A and B are shown apart, each in its own frame.
Chain A
């Protein structure tokens, strides 16, 4: 076949009628040193890769790398999401919990490996490819039916037209043809672009509607796509519910609940429990039980008044050190909690003259026991250890109720720390204050003293005036 026009030659194809002649031809072409070759057959032919000298595919490596990437992505994603970015305890498991992460890591391994296999195959085969120049010969259609074709590419380094035609002719092919480059127009038809633009334009419409609605007002009620997501059926505090027998929507803690990381008896009680066990083991055992079991807790509480006699309080091995780390943060937390819970009676400065006390004094409440001033020798750390103070805050003393139910264990220890700081503040000498700040404090003190003096003078004056007034009234009435 001669070349009658200037179209570029793509390669040479030879047609065979049986798979055996094709295989023989493949081997001969391979042995002749050609590498850019391809064979076409209506069915899969085992061993043709070897016959053509095709090297094993690189695809498994792509799949392996993609699979490992999937594993790493799955693990890192979950570690980041659940362990770092938004730590959230699920089912009491640690934040970074390998067994829980394995299913997702496994699935992503499979997903990535499948994508790697699918798209890697595309890439290695040069897909998507809409046309192959061999299709230009109508005889090639029979390769899906009962013919076999061997093709040698013109870009092969050993390609030489006459030589290739001779070689293929020797292999018993009855039909050898030169495959020319496909000269049919390769431009994409215009209507495809038109359709694409129209579809794109239409797809913008929902977005425009959303954007418009975001910047305009409407008298119509809002449209709820997911009604129960906009109006959650969850209950608010103090509401009732039909789900539980006691109708309470707020559920109490399960008996024996201990906050995470606080299952430490000393921390919970303020008592050195091991030391206590040596001198009073029944009481230590009772304390241990009370933390585990609601019934034992009630029992312990019932026994408490008898147990908590003065002598017991004396001999109890209280913790002398605050188990919480003392930092500025702890002290600020303690100050905040003290302000919320303690100051109403004990006063912001701990002198025992909070608002409740003042009111009780004013109305001369008969049963009122005045709150202690925290600034007395008997309440300092050497006589009143931290653990004992913690115990008092937790379980109360005399008329003071226990605050274990309202204030968390952690925050009660913070209050203890803060009370210590407060006590120190009342007896501190100016020498403890950094030099730079002394002037400011002294200035403030002078201002406060002055104001107090003025106040006292004013009160005295007012008292005198009222006394004089009363005397005058008394005088006039008589």
Chain B
């Protein structure tokens, strides 16, 4: 369009390979991550109680899952809208979305506790739950039709099946194109991105209901799936910015990802920050206004004691601070600052999930404050451990392929992309 169209390097250029300094981290990441994960669970399990240990594990699991499914969504959406700008960073998302396969294995401990130590994580799983909580028979009969062990397990299999099929299809298509450079592949992926997005949204929303919302069995919010999704997509854009930055620092795709791409990612982060707050507030306001006991319960628990302080802190730290921080275009065009905020929001995403999941463990166990601190340590270790473990796997997959979709027909367009 304008001056000096950028030159697309040949597919075997070293700039598209995973830098050796990163692939060397594969084994340390896998081993260290696994150790940290187990240690985190053990801290919660033995210094707190089994529910704290499993809840911390779930926090780490959901943290990684939201990044993996968020990446899947990112890929689907880029195909759906035929986006040109994002081609240079799309491969990073394609690599991360493949983590839904190891995550299916990491889900097994949760499924096992469901069957072999009933009620340890999900209170509805406890056969005594309805009688202990004096639930009306009719209400419980309706609830337990959905919340039952077998049907829960079947649903989990369906969710993972959908994610894995979508991830494999889009990953294989893209890596295949690395070899052949066929335009038809892009057309085919575009064609399927519509139905894929619909399948993804349904599955992701129900997974949020099943795995996270059912921690408070009698509570319900139809907005909940969207709430987790908002945080998930936000965190994914942050992850892309951080990953691209690290890769560039280590020498890969230096000419491909430009300030324009950081600018665009920062715009999306900025937008999704507001979307997250918008959804969180929409959920809160309807519950607050309706003021019906079965709906207010969940929020009420998060207003007691230290949780109340965390709730207020979440608004300021997860939304207002980064929102104001990323408001200026000057900031959004400085990759260093963008990556700082992106990393910051990734931490806040953990805070958000901790705030969603851990109070349920505290409420159910009536933990003293000191044990709640164990919960923080345990959840942080689990999240770091599982993230490291999966980062190791991402590096493993990445070293067998390229870090950029090298023969994507829109690669040149993406490299030439300019915001202003």
Contacts and interface: CB of A to CB of B under 8 A. Distances in A.
Contact of A23 (B2, B291, B418): B2
Given A19-B2, A23-B2, A99-B284, A49 B420 contact: yes
Contact of B285 (A47, A49, A103): A103
Given A46-B420, A60-B328, A92 B291 contact: yes
Contacts, number: 34
Interface in A86-122: 91-93, 99-100, 102-103
A311 B328 CA distance: 79
B1 interface: yes
Interface residues of A, number: 17
23 contacts: A19-B2, A19-B3, A20-B2, A20-B3, A23-B2, A46-B1, A46-B2, A47-B2, A47-B3, A47-B420, A56-B329, A60-B328, A64-B327, A91-B289, A92-B291, A99-B281, A99-B284, A99-B285, A99-B288, A99-B289, A100-B285, A102-B285, A103-B285
Contact of A45 (B2, B284, B285, B288): B2
Contacts of A23: 2-3
A102 B281 CA distance: 9
Given A46-B1, A47-B418, A100 B329 contact: no
Considering residues B1, B3, B281, B285, which has the most beta carbons from chain A within 10 angstroms of its beta carbon?
B3
Interface residues on B, range: 10 to 19
B113 to A, nearest CB: 37
Nearest to B281: A102
A87 to B, nearest CB: 19
A91 B291 contact: yes
Contacts of B281: 99, 102
Contacts of B2: 19-20, 23, 45-47
B212 to A, nearest CB: 24
B333 to A, nearest CB: 10
Majority secondary structure, A binding face = helix
Interface string B322-335: 00000111000000
A92 B285 CA distance: 15
Nearest to B284: A99
Interface in B33-52: none
Nearest to A102: B281
A134 B95 CA distance: 54
Nearest to A64: B327
A47 B3 CA distance: 9
**A-B complex: 8 closest residue pairs judged by Cβ atoms:** A46-B418, A99-B288, A46-B2, A99-B285, A20-B3, A23-B3, A45-B2, A47-B2
Contacts of A60: 328-329
B6 to A, nearest CB: 13
Interface in A44-69: 45-47, 49, 56, 60, 64
A194 to B, nearest CB: 47
Nearest to B1: A46
Interface in B283-314: 284-285, 288-289, 291
